[in-house]
Amino acid sequence: MPDKNTMFTGSTSPWPQGYRSAAVITIDFNDIYGILTQAPAVEGRDKTLSVWRYGTLRGVDRLLNLLAKKQVKTTWCLPAIVAQEQPLLLERILAEGHEVACAGDQHEDFSAMSLEEQVACARRATEKLTALCGRAPRGFRTPAGQWKPGFAQALSGMGFQWSSCWRGDDLPYFHPGTPLVELPLHYELEDEPYFAFNLSPAVPPGQSRIASYQETLANMTQDFYGYHRFGLCYLLRLHPEIMGTAGRISLLEALIDTLQQQPVWLTTAESVAEHWRSSQPANTPDHPAEIFQRLWEQNHG
């Protein structure tokens, strides 16, 4: 276990003075629209849909109560349709100082859309969220699927400062040719691979869940210590219907307690992106994202 008094081991920390690493808690609040994208056949099956409605009925409230108790600000990723249908919960999320980011209009599958359709979707969602929240969202998370080449440039042109859709790194980086900051995800720092479960339709198809709570907490804690040791950005991706249950909320509380015992900058995605844009104005030429971009351009003319 790292000593909280140990100094950052690199030449300089990329984080504000006094912090060795950064941590961001993101919460995907999709209500029933995430599973409708994943398994459209469940439409009208209220018993199945109730598994995901639990987040709206109980999970959001339980998460917000914990975050208020711990005085932690987080980033909530919402499709516009959820913000429209749950105005009281949206109002509470905003009133308690959390960031609201865009996760599409109706939680679309981006892999089934053209670039033009993806951009139009993001514009529609942005307009709706701006009207509902009183300010434009600064961040974007692909609801499902892959975005097309050129979408990062479109997001930047719409005023977005960050996205959190890709993987492949432990620190923020810029999408090449843009000031758009990517805050990378990792499956082991998400609750869904451990806990998402439904009998019919089978979620996951192999039914190889639900994981041990203590082992999951141990995994996420060990990952945090690794990120903290190397001065990285530890980013969680949680869901109200999964982490907001009566049993699992204590898992998150224990994890937050661990983070708050260390010199870690526990903040929103927007704050990390703003800091990165001001302190790290560009990728280095040898950054993998820049190399991949050059290779893609060579192969696609």
Tell me what the mean pLDDT of segment 280-295 comes to. Answer: 87
Other Cβ atoms within 10 Å of 190 Cβ, number: 21
Which residues fall within 8 angstroms of residue 143, CB to CB, at 6 or more apart?
30, 33, 34, 37, 79, 103, 104, 107, 108, 109, 110
Q: How far apart are CA 290 and CA 20, in angstroms?
A: 26
**Which tokens belong to 278?**
């001001």
Q: Is the pLDDT of residue 286 over 80?
A: yes
CA distances in angstroms from 23 to 27, 54, 233, 257, listed in the order given: 13, 27, 6, 13
Q: What is the pLDDT of residue 6?
A: 42
Residue 10: is its pLDDT beyond 80? no
Query: What spatial distance separates the first Cα and last Cα of the chain, rounded to whole Å?
Result: 49
Q: Tell me which range, 6-20, 40-54, 196-210, 250-264, is most confidently predicted by mean pLDDT.
A: 250-264
Burial class (CB in 10 A: 0-12, 13-18, 19+), 157: exposed
Please tell me the distance from the alpha carbon of residue 175 to that of residue 152, in angstroms, as a whole number.
7
Is residue 281 predicted with pLDDT exceeding 90?
Answer: no
Inter-residue contact 269 to 99 (CB < 8 Å): yes
Phi, psi of 111 (to 5 degrees): -65, -20
Q: Do the beta carbons of residue 114 and residue 146 sit within 8 Å? A: no
The string of DSSP codes covering 265-278 is EEE-HHHHHHHHHH
Confidence (pLDDT) at 129: 98
H helices of 96-176, in order, are 115-133, 151-157
184 closest CA partner among 149, 235, 220: 235
Q: Which of 166, 70, 151 is nearest to 115 (CA)?
A: 151
What's the CA gap between 25 and 66, in Å, rounded?
13
Could you report the per-residue pLDDT of 191-250, keeping only the tens digit for each?
999 998 777 777 777 767 789 999 999 999 999 999 999 999 999 999 999 999 999 999
Q: What does the alpha-carbon distance between residue 28 and residue 269 come to, in Å, rounded to a whole number? A: 13
Per-residue pLDDT tens digits for 122-167: 999 999 999 999 999 999 999 999 999 999 999 999 999 999 999 8
pLDDT at residue 301, as a whole number: 67
Q: Please report the pLDDT score of residue 26 as a whole number.
A: 98
pLDDT computed for residue 157 by the predictor:
97
Got the DSSP string for 15-75?
A: SSTT-SEEEEEEEE--TTHHHHHH-GGGTT-HHHHHHHHHIIIIIHHHHHHHHHHHT---E
In contact, 73 and 80? CB cutoff 8 Å: no
The residue-averaged pLDDT of 165-171 equals 92
In this predicted structure, what is the pLDDT of residue 11?
52
Q: In this predicted model, which residue has the larger pLDDT, 266 or 282?
A: 266
Task: Kindly state the percentage of the chain with pLDDT values over 90.
Answer: 76
Rounded CA-CA distance 34/142 in Å is: 11
- Residue 293 CB-density burial (10 A; 0-12 exposed, 13-18 middle, 19+ buried): middle
CATH 1.10.3720.10 fits domain 21-300: no
Contact 184, 170 (CB under 8 A): yes
Q: Identify whether the C-beta of residue 115 lies closer than 8 Å to the C-beta of residue 148.
A: yes
Please state the rounded mean pLDDT for residues 167-175: 93
Query: Mean pLDDT for the chain?
Result: 92
Nearest-5° angle of CA 151, CA 169, CA 60?
75
Strand partners of residue 99 = 75
- Domain extent listing, the chain: 21-300
